[in-house]
Amino acid sequence: MKQKLLSFAIAIICGSSIANAWPWMSPYAYCNGNPVCAIDPDGRKVVFVNGYLGFGSPKGGSTYWNGDKSSFVRNAQSTFQDYATPYFTNYDFKYLQSANVSRDLQGYQYAKQHYKALTKGMKPGDKFNFVSHSMGGAFSEGMIRYMAEQGWETENAVYLNAWEPAEIKSKEEKTRIDATCTNDPVQWMSKPVFGEPDIPSADDKIRITSEESIQYIHRDLIDGNGSILWKLIEKYLKK
């Protein structure tokens, strides 16, 4: 959107008409006819943190979430009332990395290395919302911790089928939501036989039983039950 606004400004300065600058758009269409999605009045940004890339998983970046215009991404933005351009990580985790040692520190270092990209377009006082999946859970926690040290607040963090959920312990975000498919065989592998199987200090725990085939359950909250998930999250946040 910023690039389009810049093009518009250059066109005016250079004496070109709006029609020549943007021939595909009506001069009467404010924000290209989509003012809700073309402005960000509340100063927030959603960060989507991918899980393990492999075993049939989509590629990283927005592809992991079925594209930056997918219903899952749009539902997340609507729930958080955040229509700025989202940020998508593209991190390749090693198989069975531990949460509390490796991925938390890697997320911290990732945020440090990508700080400019993460904060692009933001101003002091703006806030983050994080959505992570599987191994991305502890990774996002490290990112949140680094951003907090730099003075950036994370308003909400949603953890989907987090790998090693009991190891996600520190809490910088205002609201932590632990969402899980109760019959996910992938997440079962990371839960302790004895002890707490959930994310500590979770403000809300969403539990959904997936009806998908076993190979699709781990991503069901993204691919299938996403709309139900965001309705439940929105209901909780409005309390």
Q: In the structure encoding, which two tokens stand for residue 140, read together?
A: 């996002």
Q: Per residue in 61-95, is it b (16+ CB within 10 Å) or e — as a string?
A: bbbbbbeeebebbbbbbebbebbbebbbbebebee
Burial bucket for residue 207 (CB in 10 Å: 0-12, 13-18, 19+): exposed
Q: What's the topology of domain 44-237?
A: Rossmann fold (3.40.50)
> Which residues does 102 contact at the CB level (< 8 Å), separation at least 6?
94
Residue of higher predicted confidence among 196 and 205: 205
pTM score of the predicted model: 0.80
Rounded CA-CA distance 183/209 in Å is: 6
**Domain ranges (residues) in the chain:** 1-39, 44-237
Q: In the structure encoding, which two tokens stand for residue 58, read together?
A: 């989509």
Residue of higher predicted confidence among 145 and 170: 145
Q: In the structure encoding, which two tokens stand for residue 221, read together?
A: 């909250």
Q: What pLDDT score does 202 carry?
A: 96
